[in-house]
Amino acid sequence: MSKQITISAEMRDRAGKGAARATRRAGRVPAVIYGDKKDPIMVSLEPRELRKQLNTGNFFATVYSVEVAGGDNERVLPRDVQFHPVKDETMHVDFLRVSKLTRTNVMVQCNFINEDDSPGLTRGGMLNVVRHEVEVICGVDDIPSEFQIDLTGMDIGDSIHAGVLSLPEGVELTISDRDFTIATIAAPVLKTEEEEDEEAAAAAAAEGEEGEAGEAGAEEAAEEGSSEE
């Protein structure tokens, strides 16, 4: 199951676009905590601490304890992150307040292991991932940290379906009416004769240009030498 992680926050006294811009100018990221039949509260986060959590790749499947300076600790699940369209900056975060009774939909990462034990991959096949994440519904205390998918024995042409996932008690797939595909082992892509001919022609042309450049340089050197004499 996912571990609960603590992050710190400061209260914001105003809402709205102007207040959010002022928060960003002060070097912090505006955020809101809402839900669980309580009033929303406006907070701000330290950008580097937030970026560290975003880079885990498991941000939306992690329950956080937000320590609000001057307020209560809030148990939350990230629900939305807004990024700047050009700069590498986080603009705003939405957190859903949760309790032990909360059941929610969440995306869980699929991590593939034992690639070296897959005959298909060791023979040059390609792992074609159809779903990097799988959506489940569960209690917030039951969110899986990841789904590990063992590729041992998988050969070219084999498919990996949802049925191989080991679901903990209380965790259900949101797609339950079919055994959907998560990944396949595809055959290696072979180059056509036409593509090989084009590559050979390009290489020959490049060599020819280098040769012409070398000859031109030699002629220039010879001319300079004769003029000096």
**Do residues 125 and 210 both lie within one domain?**
no
- Our CA angle for 102, 149, 162, nearest 5°, is 65
- Our CA angle for 213, 217, 219, nearest 5°, is 120
- Our CA angle for 193, 197, 201, nearest 5°, is 175
Using DSSP bridges, classify how beta strands 147-150 and 103-113 pair: parallel, antiparallel or unpaired. parallel
**Do residues 70 and 111 both lie within one domain?**
no
What is the pTM assigned to this prediction?
0.72
Q: Are 143 and 63 in contact (CB under 8 A)?
A: yes
**Do residues 210 and 159 both lie within one domain?**
no
Average of per-residue pLDDT across 11-37: 90
Q: Which long-range contacts (CB under 8 A, 24 or more apart) does 175-181 make?
A: 175/135, 180/131, 181/130, 181/131
**Do residues 9 and 85 both lie within one domain?**
yes
Name the H helices within 67-192.
119-122
pLDDT at 193 over 80: no
**Do residues 16 and 40 both lie within one domain?**
yes
Is residue 133 one of the residues assigned to a domain?
yes
pLDDT tens readout for residues 80-121: 999 999 888 899 999 999 998 999 999 999 999 999 999 999
The whole-number pLDDT of residue 218 equals 47
**Do residues 83 and 121 both lie within one domain?**
no
**Do residues 70 and 112 both lie within one domain?**
no
**Do residues 89 and 135 both lie within one domain?**
no
pLDDT at 181 over 80: yes
Q: Which domain covers residue 17, as residue numbers?
A: 5-99
